[in-house]
Chains A and B, each alone.
Chain A
Amino acid sequence: MRRIRTIPVLLIHKNGLYKSVQFKNYQYIGDPINAVKIFNDKGVDELVIIDIDASRNNKAPDIKKIADIASEAFMPISYGGGITTIDQAHDLFYNGIEKLIVNSSALRNPTIISDIADKFGSQAIVASIDVKKNIWGKYKVYADNGSKSTGLDPVEFAQQCEKIGAGEILLNSIDRDGTYKGYDIDILSSVTSSVSIPVIACGGAGSIDDFTKAVKQGNASAVAAGSFFVFQRPHNAVLISYPQNFKI
């Protein structure tokens, strides 16, 4: 039996915590610091926190706020949003972040991955890849929070990220985001079989069974979700929950 990390993904937008459906229709969840405290009390394996406004607005990470969030979190936190310099990377690590996530900034300037890996090690840098099927059914990498197709092939881009030093891939399916339809196993398997670093599946989880499928069929090393951890269905009332001790 192996413990599989189950990772809540929290999106920061307009200073609050929000959850999207297919990277749109943002619903307010609550205060980020409170939510992180609740997840901490539930003994969560790891957290992903992404400031979805930062890159779009060319804004640097809000170090003070992130430090506040991290101060009561006794589990690993990965942070993404607006990271463009080594100094920011240093400040984030100093203030209690374990891993940095780059997405748009890596698409604009891939050397940010190698710069961080050279200094802080590959285990500290996560390449986040947002994928969506285009109208011809081909998977493409999207930039700027799912708003723009880059034309890049996700498998080739994931391999490139690994080659320049990424220690992990966070693979998000835009089509499945917030839908509870399960992970997109096709693209997940394509990526996991073509890189040798861990891949975190994200987008579409609706049940524990989906986690199991992502690991068994998609060979994911870890599973992440948003809605699954913050909503109670059928009406998507806000309720933070977390399953304990997920093993396969």
Chain B
Amino acid sequence: MIAILEYGIGNVSSIKNMLKKIGANAVITNNIDDIKAASKLILPGVGRFDYCMSQLRSSAFFNVLERMVLELKTPILGVCAGSQMLFEKSEEGSGTGLGWIKGEVVKFKTDKLPTNYKIPHMGWTDIDPAQNNFLYAGIESPRFYFTHSYHILCEDITQVTATAEYGYNITASVQKDNIIGVQFHPEKSHQFGMKLYKNFVNL
């Protein structure tokens, strides 16, 4: 069973709808027993970094979540702001992130963007996956829906599993062992996202 973490934030139903479409068994939950029983976790996120972090930290399952991810190595997929929260900090706020992956989240450098590249970066963008990354297996010409004003700067570039071009090169997804993050919204990316979730579910 896959637990979509409910902490008062995020597009949880979109993710559930897509998992249902691909026949995966998933629940939207903040229940500690459900989360403990889950084989995989999804951390959604929409909104400001500090607000998302404070909501997550104050949820009753937070300690269980840390233990499952860091000790039991349960696979977790962070989506959009959920991927940014995996890092140590963000220019969007003053608080700290989960710090499970080394690096930070920074605002798009508007002075480095060509004219007409407006922020937020909003829309469909082709991505360039690292070779043989399981998440993108079988996806031809992968493209996904992005909507963000901040992007990830991963300290260890070998943990970057895909990049995208929006004025300049940005990190589209990351993976450190069992911890995976995607900057885009696979649950809103038609067949591309469907295949990505299938790959995650079948991991």
Where the two chains meet, the residues of A that have a C-beta atom closer than 8 Å to any C-beta of B are 3-5, 40, 43, 45-46, 67, 70-72, 74-76, 90, 93-99, 118-124, 167-168, 196-199, 219, 221-222
Contacts and interface: CB of A to CB of B under 8 A. Distances in A.
Contacts of A121: 46-48, 81, 149
Given A3-B123, A3-B126, A122-B149, A221 B11 contact: no
Nearest to A99: B147
A220 to B, nearest CB: 9
Contacts of B187: 74
Interface string B164-203: 0000000000000000000001011111011000000000
A196 B119 contact: yes
Contacts of A219: 116
B84 to A, nearest CB: 11
B118 A197 contact: yes
Contacts of B123: 3-5, 45-46, 221-222
Interface stretch (B12-20, B57-65, B94-102, B128-136): B12-20
B13 A67 contact: yes
Given A45-B123, A74-B188, A121-B46, A196 B118 contact: yes
Chain A CB within 10 A, most for which of B8, B11, B110: B11
A199 to B, nearest CB: 8
A70 B13 contact: yes
A119 B47 contact: yes
A122 B59 CA distance: 24
Interface of B: 8, 10-14, 17-18, 21, 46-48, 51, 81, 110, 116, 118-120, 122-126, 143, 145, 147-149, 185, 187-191, 193-194
B8 to A, nearest CB: 8
Contact of A123 (B8, B147, B190, B193): B147
A221 B166 CA distance: 13
Contacts, number: 106
Contacts of A5: 122-124
Contacts of B119: 196-197
Given A118-B48, A198-B120, A96 B17 contact: yes
A74 B47 contact: no
Contact of A93 (B10, B48, B147, B193): B10
A197 B120 contact: yes
Contacts of B81: 121
Contacts of A70: 13-14, 17
A49 to B, nearest CB: 14
A98 B17 contact: no
Contacts of A4: 123
A45 to B, nearest CB: 6
Given A74-B189, A93-B46, A3 B125 contact: yes
Contacts of B149: 121-123, 167
B202 to A, nearest CB: 19
B122 A123 contact: yes
Contacts of A196: 110, 118-119
B18 A167 contact: no
B80 to A, nearest CB: 9
A74 B118 contact: no
A43 B190 contact: yes
Contacts of A99: 147
A222 B11 CA distance: 23
Nearest to B8: A90
Contacts of B13: 67, 70-71, 94-96
Nearest to B17: A71
Contacts of B120: 122-123, 167-168, 197-198
A168 B46 contact: no
